[in-house]
Structure 1
């Protein structure tokens, strides 16, 4: 029996983060797929917020993807997915926070907002965040390496990547692809796609275009 149980939903990018970490570390785990539209009655006993991912390790529970991922990196230290140097670890946490508080909300606002003017505002906001990543992350941190911190993949890479795998839905419904001028971001995405851990649970772009249609299409009233 697997020591780790993960509660996930295939469409959820937050759960995708944790599954990537489990795959990269080669951790044996039991996958429990949750229907977010019809959650089990006792699901809050496992995930108090009622969200995925949630992790059960023995008799312990951990929830929230960023916290789960750090927990996994501490309990299963090989391969390490956070830098050893304190300032670099701080930088990693800053970027994880940037994903959670800036990039992800901008992505969601653009996809979900039916108002054309609001969409244009969201495109500008999302472009600004991509520009910041291009210049501050890949321009200063990664140097010539393919990943956020250079030659070694990290929790930061796995924190951002699920939204980039879902980017075709944003392009399909909002006409916003990854701008060609952000060459380092494009190179980074390609490098991540080639990882065995990413390939193991990857979905084709058609999957996200189909699944995310309900977020992009206004609900009839």
Structure 2
């Protein structure tokens, strides 16, 4: 599948893993992350989904030893996700494109352990460890929720009496690189936990609920998400069935 995001011929191509059907977007938070960045910036690019069941020859010719996601810019292949992110921020910069670099240092590390704790929880094969890994996972969600509810310096400056933040995203009311890293992972967490563990983000975590609600209203998020069935399918082989 190829999707052109601008009327002009782009120099940049984004290659992402295809879903099980071989055409639509597959479940890959790194692919989702880069796709969101390019969508938000309004940058000219083409998107190509790579069917990994048929891809070896194509990948050997285009990008030997490389797995999606990666980009090709002026025939140069770039595959390191963090370096690609930095490259896109430098290439598509103000005044023509929005800067997405967070203004607050702690934004870059907020929620950085959530996906790791989720993976331990959802992939745990020992029933005796269920309580331990679930509690660790919950604590990581609580820490993220606390960050989202804590006013940032600019909010406190505007309102010294403010006790709970009402900002839309991690760093403020504008989407940043940190959101594009975290939101795809939270979407996977929400989808997988609900289906395989009948677990939903606790209602008292109002900061997280606000954050996710704001994200789902963004076209950059909606358009770049893999479908829920694709996410569930990708985890089916690693989740221990729950006892009925």
TM-score tier (shorter): 0.7 to 0.9
Between stretches 181-190 and 31-40, larger displacement belongs to 31-40
Given candidates 143, 158, 164, the residue that maps to 2:180 is 158
Q: Cα offset for 1:21?
A: 0.7
Structure 2 counterpart of 1:82: 101
Structure with greater Cα Rg: 2
Structure 2 unmatched runs, 5+:
1-8, 18-25, 156-164
> Does 1:214 find its partner at 2:237?
yes
Structure 2 counterpart of 1:93: 108
Structure 1 counterpart of 2:137: 126
Structure 1 unmatched runs, 5+:
none
Count of aligned residue pairs for this structure pair: 209
Any residues of structure 2 matched to 1:142-153 within 5 Å, and which?
A: 143-153=165-175
User: How big is the alpha-carbon RMSD for the aligned residues of Structure 1 and Structure 2?
Assistant: 2.5
Query: Is this contact kept in 2: 1:12–1:52, CA < 8 A?
Result: no
Query: Is this contact kept in 2: 1:106–1:125, CA < 8 A?
Result: yes
Structure 1 counterpart of 2:222: 199
Runs of 4+ in 1 over 6 A off after TM superposition: none
Between stretches 161-170 and 15-24, larger displacement belongs to 161-170
Q: Cα offset for 1:7?
A: 1.5
Structure 1 counterpart of 2:146: 135
Q: What SS class does the counterpart of residue 71 from structure 2 fall into?
A: strand
The whole-number CA distance in structure 2 between the counterparts of 1:42 and 1:121 is 44
Relative to its length, the structure with more helix (as a share) is 1
Between stretches 31-40 and 122-131, larger displacement belongs to 31-40
Any residues of structure 2 matched to 1:5-154 within 5 Å, and which?
A: 5-9=13-17, 10-36=26-52, 39-41=55-57, 43=59, 46=63, 48=65, 50-77=66-93, 78-83=97-102, 85=103, 88=104, 90-95=105-110, 99=112, 102-141=113-152, 143-154=165-176
Q: Cα offset for 1:36?
A: 4.0
